[in-house]
Amino acid sequence: MADTRLPDAGRVAVYFAPRPTDPLFAAGATWLGRDPEADAPAPQPDLPGIAEVAAEPRLYGFHATLKPPMRLAEGRQWFDVVQAARALAGRIAPFTLPPLAVMDLRGFLALRETVPCSPLQTLADACVAELDPYRAPTSEAEIARRRRAALTAEQDAMLVRWGYPYVFATWFFHMTLTRRLNEAEKAVYLPAAQAHFGRALAVPQRVTDICLFTQEAAGEPFVIAERLPLRG
């Protein structure tokens, strides 16, 4: 296990991220402009404005959220989270994702599965529920910020209970590629992203581990601190 320390102001999240040997990892790192495994810059495609368009997802690293970013509850340590996540991963078997595609997701571009995947939902549900005892309570300011997104009643209930509005029945797999785009920007970036990811998306995707991403402080990038193999 890596000798990682999570500062008091830091956060940890559980994400799916392709392995570094997977062509999708390189495609995602170069699109966003950062390798989250090495925490190093990556050269982006020659597209006008790509650095700005991908700035927000670059901060989080190329990923799909399983357990949203959280601060540790009082009395909980980094080692506790690693042990709990490792035990969870040990009970879940690796599986194959359905084919992924670049899609327009409420104005953002993201990779989405083309058909539902029940093992993926099961994995996300387990990460949210089993690691929640390690999560510090969500602040009132964070709840208020989330509510500005005009949540449904179900999403608001998830936010209050789990600290995030998109979990369990409201969760959806996505690997974000851009900020919200206007129609003119979408006409440029959608075909560009489809071309950029085309070869990588032709390779079947296996989910063989989960990743603990850490963020040292607000505004700092998320980096991969641990990869925990699925062994069920």
| Antiparallel, parallel or unpaired: β 206-207 and 95-96 | antiparallel
pLDDT at position 2: 43
Residues with Cβ within 8 Å of 183's Cβ and at least 6 positions away in sequence, in order, are none
Q: Which of 73, 83, 60 is nearest to 214 (CA)?
A: 60
Q: Are 194 and 102 in contact (CB under 8 A)?
A: yes
**Helix (H) or strand (E) run with residue 101 in it:** strand 100-105
Place of tokens 């404005």: 49
Place of tokens 């959608």: 190
Average confidence (pLDDT) per 10 residues, the chain, 232 residues: 66 97 98 97 97 98 98 94 98 97 97 96 98 96 93 96 97 98 98 98 96 95 97 93
Q: Which of 4, 1, 19 is nearest to 214 (CA)?
A: 4
Dist CA 21 CA 33 (whole Å): 17
Helices (H), the chain: 23-32, 50-53, 55-60, 78-90, 118-131, 140-147, 153-162, 183-201
Structure tokens at 193: 């992203």
pLDDT at position 3: 44
pLDDT at position 7: 79
Structure tokens at 92: 């879940």
Domains delineated in the chain: 11-137+171-229 (3.90.1140.10)
